[in-house]
Amino acid sequence: MPQVSASTLVTIGKSIFVAAGAPDDIAHDVANSLVETNLSGHDSHGIIRVMLYVDMIRNRDLLPSARPQLRQGSGAIASLDCRRGFGQIGAQVGTAMAAELAHEHGIGCVALENVNHVGRLGEYAESLARKRMVGIVLTSGTVVRVSVAPWGGREPLMSTNPMAWALPAGTGDTPFVLDYATAVVANGKVQVALSEGRAFPEGMLLDRDGNPTTDPASFLNGGMLLPFGTYKGHGLSLMMELIPGILCGFSPVSSTRFRSGNPTLILALNIEAFAEPELFREQTQEFLERIKAVAPADGFDEVLLPGEKEQRSKAERSRTGIPLPRIVWNELCDLAAAYGVDVPEDPVAA
């Protein structure tokens, strides 16, 4: 498997986006967001998405030079028209806007309309936590396919509906971050399992007839994912389908009115408007340390906190490079060649 450095992947991704019509700054910010996602270990939402986004640009589903515009705002809330540009840009601008609103009002809430795929939600929640806020990001919709069956059912009627939560902890610059789909996993993880030739764990996938399967290929053939956590995740999944979807001007994915996209609601709570920020950080840190100190149960090496896997992955991959399945690396190089983009010599690529 080629191991490619983050900087090489950003350069390739950025150059492809520029060649496909994106301005320099947008191309860089989107490529960087994708590669940060690889660094955090979520390859399903990383550089592999360049191929999808370029297809969307070619179909005019994604307008690479579009920049978000405020559609309406009142008090602590705003609706941002992302104008079918890159979702990452809409979400980055929306996050900055939510932080400004929260500075002024104690709370800020921004709804992203006409927004494309936003990628890894943790990025936005985390950036609010770095500003000493609680960040909550709720997303529904899809640019790929309707893929999640309700608990107890055998027909996909929902999206993977992810959410991210982040808050400042301790004295360092590393927030406490929870970031996942309310489906058992993100859609893209099935693709990644396929490209790596791996079967899926039991209890996650149904085939097109609603029978349990571990074969990721059956997902491409009309199969579906389940919500996480049986009926509890199912309930959350339903709420997530409705709240960001409708508040952002979209409809549930099962509706004939649904348009492709990733409706996203960004919520910022300014801690100092509610509590003493140092006490908040201190208590959060103490609590997390108590959780980490719990003796592991049989079959576990340690109690892991949300966010720890991503931090460890980032530390390792920043050092060793990002392992890309050969098929993904080849597709990326082919796309680069089609746009006349040089693939730089990379000391880590093998």
Given the rule CB under 6 A, which residues bind ligand NAD?
Answer: 42, 45, 117-122, 139, 160, 162, 164, 178-181, 185-186, 189, 262, 304, 306-307, 309-310
Closest separation in Å from C-beta 59 to ligand NAD? 18
Q: Please say which residue, 90 or 336, places its beta carbon nearer to ligand NAD.
A: 90
- Please, what is the minimum distance in Å from the beta carbon of residue 304 to ligand NAD? 4
In the complex with ligand NAD, which residue's Cβ is closer, 8 or 262? Answer: 262
Instruction: Confirm if 115 and 243 have CB atoms less than 8 A apart.
Output: no
- Any idea which residue has 């991210």 for tokens? 164
| Cα 178 from Cα 308, distance rounded (Å) | 10
**What one-letter code names the amino acid at 317?**
R
- Minimum distance between the CB of residue 160 and ligand NAD, rounded to whole angstroms? 4
The Cα 150–Cα 63 span in angstroms is 33
The whole-angstrom separation of Cα 216 and Cα 193 is: 7
Nearest to 12 by CA among 314, 241, 329, 299: 329
Which lies closer to ligand NAD via its Cβ, residue 182 or residue 218?
Answer: 182
Minimum CB separation from ligand NAD for residue 120, in Å? 4
Residue 163 or residue 324: which is nearer to ligand NAD going by CB? 163
Q: Please, which residue, 160 or 260, has the CB nearer to ligand NAD?
A: 160
Q: How far apart are CA 62 and CA 27, in angstroms?
A: 13
In the complex, the smallest distance separating the C-beta of residue 28 from ligand NAD, rounded to whole angstroms, is: 20
Q: Are 334 and 50 in contact (CB under 8 A)?
A: no
